[in-house]
Amino acid sequence: MADAKQYEPKNLKVITADLQVHGARFHPAGNMLAAGGYDGRVRLWDVSAEEPKELSSLTGHDAWVQAIAFSPDGSFLYSSDSWGQLRAWDLSAEQTQLAWKLPGAHDGWIRDVDVSPDGKRVVTCGRDQAIRTWMAVDGAFLDESRHHDFDVYCSRFHPGGEWIVTGDDRGVIKVSRASTLEPIRDFGATVLYLEHRLQDVGGVRTLSFNRDGTTLAAGGTTPKNGGTVQGTPTVLLFDFASGELKHTLNFGAATHCFVHEIVLHDAGFVMAVTSGTPGQGQIIFQRPEDDSPFFSHTKIPNCHSLSFHEASGRFAVASTNRGSNGNGRRLSKDGEYEGNNSPIHLFQL
């Protein structure tokens, strides 16, 4: 890797999303940013100019929209919610249109959605312990797997399209054939889980591949206890062919808790965001062979998504406003309960 300083990001803009959003994603062309809203909307921004401009929201979900994904060619956007609905939006027309919807795609919370490299299939996973695949063009059901015994947090297609990798609440990673969802092997990530008398903590919260699919990254926390949910943000790097754990990266203190999203940069370093106890958040860049990050940003509270647009070198981090309000907080001077918002920070490498 060349001089690390060339990869230290510059702040561009901050988009304030009120109400809160989750999972901000760049369109493949880099001209649009989408994010799922806790109010059931899919929010869109035109980010082609210096000043981002909010576009008309996509409506129709009746619950939190956590997971969204663009098709590789950018013609479709897929969104899913905490009541189990999956929707596909056609972006190719002058006005975005609903292409299809599946109100009962899962029994409850859809945790993640991903699109195959050829754009033909969609994979979803959820709280119902199921992994399902669908035809991307019309939502036709393809296959289902229930080989996980617990809540499945994340699902990813391998860059080659042949495999789907999934991670669950207990730190189990499964590799399955994309064509049949037949499980082939497991990766060990149980360090990311703690069984505790107060409450169980952890799980595989995010999965990511490098460009050629030779390295699989799994993110979560190395739990410290089960009471106040403290733990060290952790990234595990596996050789995908052999399943061998090559590197374990730990970021920050126990109050920083979870790695929420990972990007494996072509220059050989890990980009990650973390979210912990209220007000704690990090953006981390670290080479796997190093003992510490060459870049860290700790001034953005509770970072919960990371989207990197390679062609432009920009990335977006969705976070929570500083001083965020929670249950039990006092009312404002006006006697109102202050809601939270989600600043989306745009950076340039």
pLDDT for 324 beyond 80: no
Q: In this prediction, what percent of the chain has a pLDDT beyond 90?
A: 81
pLDDT for 258 beyond 60: yes
Q: Mean of the pLDDT values across residues 22-35?
A: 97
User: Is residue 319 very low, low, confident or very high in pLDDT (cuts 50, 70, 90)?
Assistant: very high
Nearest to 96 by CA among 79, 117, 72, 109: 79
pLDDT tens readout for residues 98-142: 999 999 999 999 999 999 999 999 999 999 999 999 999 999 999
pLDDT for 275 beyond 60: yes
pLDDT at 108: 97
pLDDT for 277 beyond 90: no
Nearest to 241 by CA among 163, 170, 348: 163
pLDDT at 327: 55
pLDDT for 339 beyond 90: no
pLDDT at 278: 81
Distance CA 26, CA 69 (A): 9
pLDDT at 325: 64
Q: Mean of the pLDDT values across residues 293-304?
A: 94
Token pair listed for 34:
């989408």
pLDDT at 150: 95
Long-range contacts of residues 175-182, Cβ cutoff 8 Å, at least 24 apart:
176/131, 176/145, 176/147, 178/116, 178/121, 178/123, 178/133, 179/143, 180/143, 181/131, 181/133, 181/143, 181/144, 181/145, 182/145
pLDDT tens readout for residues 54-68: 999 999 999 999 999
> For the chain, how far is it from start to end, CA to CA, in angstroms?
15
pLDDT for 287 beyond 90: yes
> For the chain, what is the mean pLDDT?
94
Query: In the chain, what are the domain boundaries?
Result: 4-323+340-348
User: Is residue 2 very low, low, confident or very high in pLDDT (cuts 50, 70, 90)?
Assistant: low
Query: Residue 196: CA atoms inside 13 Å, Cβ hemisphere, count?
Result: 15
Does domain 4-323+340-348 fall under CATH 2.30.29.30? My reply is no
Q: Mean of the pLDDT values across residues 214-229?
A: 89
